[in-house]
Amino acid sequence: MSPSPSIEHFWQTLLAHGDRPALSDGAQRLDYAELVRQVQRRRAQLAGFGARRVALCLDNGIDWVLWDLALLSEGLVCVPVPAFFSPAQQRHVVDSSGVDTLIGPLAPWSQEAGFRPVAPGLGQRPVADAPPLFPGTVKITYTSGTTGLPKGVCLDAAAMLAVAASLWDVVGASGARQHLAVLPLATLLENVAGVYAPLLGGASTELRPMAEIGLLGASGLDLPRLLGRLGESQPHSLILLPQLLQALVGAVEHGWTPPPSLRFIAVGGAHVAPSLLRRAVAARLPVFEGYGLSECASVVCLNTPNDNRIGTVGRPLPHARVRLADDGEVLVQGARALGYLGEAPEAGEWLATGDLGRFDEQGHLLLSGRKKHQFITAYGRNVNPEWVESELVQQAPIAQAWLYGEALPENLAVLVPRHAGVSDGELAAAVAAVNQTLPDYARAHHWRRAAQPFSADNGLATSNGRLRRDALRAYYHAALAALDPTSRPKDIA
């Protein structure tokens, strides 16, 4: 199979970087010439096994990247399997995508799915009826979403590499030459922005197992380990989720000194409270908020060192065009997915993202939340709960928050305290502090302490921490019913 023009250009770019450092993991370092040689060996292995659709079930490391590049250069289909998915979700990923080859240790779920070892660290199974794919598909990335089973997004090389090139234009201009992968490589954001973009620019990426980074499962964090790794690695760039940024900012506020090497910390993946970004500035962390989605092959907009507007996700990157629908929904044109696995391709040139936003006078995009999450109060006011929730969790006593007020005269917030010792008085003070910054219609007029944290185990959150809003509404039905004007008592807290 001959590679596409975008893959061929990418490959020639890697060859041109020669003896520059490319990848490291603490134990070994590869320059670009050696990276190319090792990728070629893996390409030969894949051809020998007749692999077509390959699941990557490896921890972060050089091996993950080498296999990914071998699959990309061969034009084969790579299906990253996130370690933070449940066994049932992992089984769904390989079954729904028709994976025939699995790279990584064979876990009980993969053995039950029919994989048998054919070489060390490699399993295969017969697949009689693999689902059809969009022509050009080289990666199927699964989004955890807000339902039980992840959804496969089919991507071609041209889209991912176009995004990577745009990102390198921004990040490379900051002088960042050493990236530390903090997020799992199975997430498209780290794969595209933390691997492909530095490789295009001839920079290097450090890859450590997730346990060495301090990330445990979907939402666990060993903060001292993460801080220690940053101090030892002295990276120029990182990609963080909001909760990781919050942990770093809190560490600085409690006396930790961040590495002086840091030049570009990208943050995204969920709504970032402007108050957190202002704290990051005060902590002298070079943080830049961005916005993207798997359906657009990752990043669409990004703030930059020379054009950073707190409260916005920046301007569109060179590869993308963004406009707003009449109702404020964000529409994107440019690099985009081929479609969802098992579904018809999206019609039209503009992708409806499901996010609501507006532009400021300088063309920076401001997001206000998900269109489907917006609720309308009994007084006809539209409220995007993520906005309020992100401000609530900036308060020290609050770990998680959910806000609801559909057709109600007043809104209810359900709060998970940071730890068991947080008092009701502390929660009340935290809510009052946030309410002072909000318009009346968006405030948490009532609150109650959560019966239990929101987690994947109890069905109140996804495996990566997103709230399952329908489940929360059903679980707290009685508390919401008490806010109906025909019901009493009115005081929920």
pLDDT band at 380 (very low <50, low <70, confident <90, very high): confident
Long-range contacts of 481-489 (CB under 8 A, 24+ apart): 483/408, 483/409, 483/410, 483/412, 483/446, 484/408, 485/378, 485/409
What pLDDT sits at residue 233?
A: 97
Q: Which residue has the higher pLDDT, 34 or 26?
A: 34
User: In the 8-state DSSP scheme, what is residue 256?
Assistant: P
Select from 223, 184, 230, 250 the least CA-distant residue to 393: 250
Half-sphere exposure of 209 (CA within 13 A, CB side): 6
pLDDT band at 438 (very low <50, low <70, confident <90, very high): confident
Q: Are 59 and 83 in contact (CB under 8 A)?
A: yes
Instruction: Calculate mean pLDDT across residues 311-339.
Output: 95
Q: Is 120 exposed, middle or buried (0-12, 13-18, 19+ CB in 10 A)?
A: exposed
Q: What is the pLDDT of residues 149-207, one digit of tens each?
A: 788 999 999 999 999 999 999 999 999 999 999 999 999 999 999 999 999 999 999 99
pLDDT at 30 over 70: yes
DSSP 446-457: EEEE-SS---TT
| Residue range(s) occupied by CATH 3.40.50.12780 in the chain | 1-370
pLDDT at 116 over 80: yes
Q: How far apart (Å, rounded) are the C-alpha atoms in residues 99 and 130? A: 8
pLDDT at 147 over 80: no
Chain-centroid distance of CA 140 in Å reads 15
Q: Are 60 and 208 in contact (CB under 8 A)?
A: yes
Long-range contacts of 477-480 (CB under 8 A, 24+ apart): 479/412, 479/414, 479/448, 480/404, 480/408, 480/412
Place of tokens 């930790």: 256
Q: Which fold has domain 1-370?
A: Rossmann fold (3.40.50)
Domain 375-481, what architecture? 2-Layer Sandwich (3.30)
pLDDT band at 387 (very low <50, low <70, confident <90, very high): confident
User: In the 8-state DSSP scheme, what is residue 461?
Assistant: B
For residue 121, give Cα distances in angstroms to 63, 65, 66, 260. Answer: 11, 15, 14, 39
User: In the 8-state DSSP scheme, what is residue 476?
Assistant: T
Instruction: Give percent of the chain above pLDDT 90.
Output: 76
What pLDDT sits at residue 466?
A: 82
pLDDT at 417 over 90: yes
Q: What is the pLDDT of residues 458-481, one digit of tens each?
A: 999 986 678 999 999 999 998 888
| Residue range(s) occupied by CATH 3.30.300.30 in the chain | 375-481
Average pLDDT, the chain: 91
What pLDDT sits at residue 144?
A: 66
What pLDDT sits at residue 218?
A: 58
Instruction: Calculate mean pLDDT across residues 61-68.
Output: 98
| pTM of structure | 0.85
